[in-house]
């Protein structure tokens, strides 16, 4: 993975684990099954892990969030669009929706919240201190008010079964 990065402008920052610098984002070949099994390792006790993805058409954007073991926290948000949005905006909106969902669900909990994502450009945008995307700023504002810690971490494409579920759910709409 990568090393945690902190942003100096916010008092409570999400920790961000990015891909290795030499990573080439390839989405045309799925990983071997053993990598999927290794990546499905159990998260720390009491933590929430929310997998999210985005799928965009000309007129709508779907952002499903899958929280394994907490079916009441799973959500499928539909955003109607005036124009098509770039994939970076779509992924950041999905990340914002998942962050907001975890913030509301664990309002009194100091537990660790983890959101794995597979889109490297979103990680880079969240790391920006100046001139960041408005959705990245919203993610930081939500995180600043959230109890406990939030970790946004990069995962290779389709290596965790719950992420595969959120990816599939985004395409069903």
Domains of the chain: 15-20+44-172 (3.30.420.10)
**Residue 5, pLDDT score:** 43
Spatial distance between the Cα atoms of 94 and 101, rounded to a whole number of angstroms: 11
Distance of CA 111 to the CA centre of its chain: 17
Element (H, E) at 55: strand 55-56
108: burial class by Cβ within 10 Å (0-12, 13-18, 19+)?
exposed
**Residue 56, pLDDT score:** 86
Fill in the DSSP letter of residue 71. G
Spatial distance between the Cα atoms of 37 and 46, rounded to a whole number of angstroms: 21
Is residue 97 very low, low, confident or very high in pLDDT (cuts 50, 70, 90)?
A: very high
Model confidence pLDDT, tens digit, residues 37-96: 444 456 667 778 888 888 888 889 999 888 888 888 888 899 999 988 998 999 999 999
The token duo for 54 is 């985005």
pTM of the model: 0.70
């Amino acid at each position: 993975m990568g090393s945690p990065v902190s942003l100096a402008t916010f008092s409570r920052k999400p920790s961000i684990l990015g891909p290795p610098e030499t990573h080439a984002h390839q989405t045309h070949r799925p990983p071997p099954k053993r990598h999927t099994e290794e990546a499905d390792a159990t998260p720390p006790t009491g933590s929430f892990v929310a997998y999210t993805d985005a799928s965009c058409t000309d007129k709508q954007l779907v952002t499903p969030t899958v929280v394994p073991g907490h079916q009441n926290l799973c959500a499928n948000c539909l955003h109607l669009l005036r124009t098509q949005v770039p994939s970076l905006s779509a992924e950041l909106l999905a990340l914002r929706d998942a962050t907001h969902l975890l913030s509301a669900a664990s309002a009194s909990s100091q537990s660790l919240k983890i959101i794995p994502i597979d889109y490297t450009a979103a990680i880079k945008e969240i790391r920006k201190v100046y001139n960041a995307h408005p959705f990245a700023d919203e993610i930081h504002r939500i995180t600043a008010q959230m109890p406990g810690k939030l970790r946004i971490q990069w995962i290779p494409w389709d290596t965790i079964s719950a992420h595969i579920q959120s990816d599939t759910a985004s395409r069903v709409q």
